Amino acid sequence: MRLIRGMAATLTVGAALGAAAAVANGVPLLLGEGGRARADRGAWSQTAEFASLILDSGWAWATMAVAVGWLVSSGLRPVVGVLAGALGGCVALIDATIVYDVVPMLFPFHEGFGWGQMPFWLVASLVLGLPLGAVGATIRRPGPVGILAALVAPVGAALNMVVLPPPAESPVADSVMLTVWVAAATATVLVLAVRAGRRGDRRAMHGPVNVLPGGN
């Protein structure tokens, strides 16, 4: 039952990301500003472009798969949790990909459904979703393994800004990069702080070991 609820949440999260990214991409067209230069568009289009550059980025989709893997593995044994996390990450990315391509069909300017690059991204969702979801489930493990798994998302976001930054012609590119860098740094610090706190709590629970006879 717990796994079923987790998979239901997975479908919801995937659909939400796919729909949000598709809507953000379509706002300039809905406002009739698709033909304008990015710098000449209105405030709503600029805001939508900021959201689009966040939601439609590789790191955001990868983070979603990792988060889903962590979510569906809750309460499961380690091996089962990793398998469930891998499945959840894969399902979430496939779900998001389908919704991302279907939502624009609701827009008045849409010219009809075309497969386009969907087959490629469906295969990519399968290939990448499995390990990313497994990484999310691995976050629950104690020690260095769990820490490294928890750092995959923020480190990946930072690397994305280096390898594939927002387009320079976008007026919100600098804001997006700053936001991602700050979020990645903050997440990294929180992961290390939380893990250090847990280690301290475990040590406090066990207390000092008394090796002297008679307790003296």
For residue range 60-71, list pLDDT tens digits in order: 999 999 999 999
Token duo for residue 141: 């493990």
Phi-psi region of 4 (alpha: psi -120 to 50; beta: other; left: phi over 0): alpha
**Alpha-carbon radius of gyration of the chain:** 21
Cβ contact 118:135 at 8 Å:
no
Which residue reads 């624009």 in tokens? 104
Residue 170 DSSP symbol? -
- Distance in angstroms (rounded) separating the CA atoms of residues 55 and 196: 31
pTM for the model stands at: 0.87
| Residue 139 DSSP one-character state | T
Residues 6+ apart with CB under 8 A from 190: none
Under the banding of pLDDT at 50, 70 and 90, the label for residue 211 is very low
pLDDT value of residue 202? 62
What's the confidence (pLDDT) of residue 21?
96
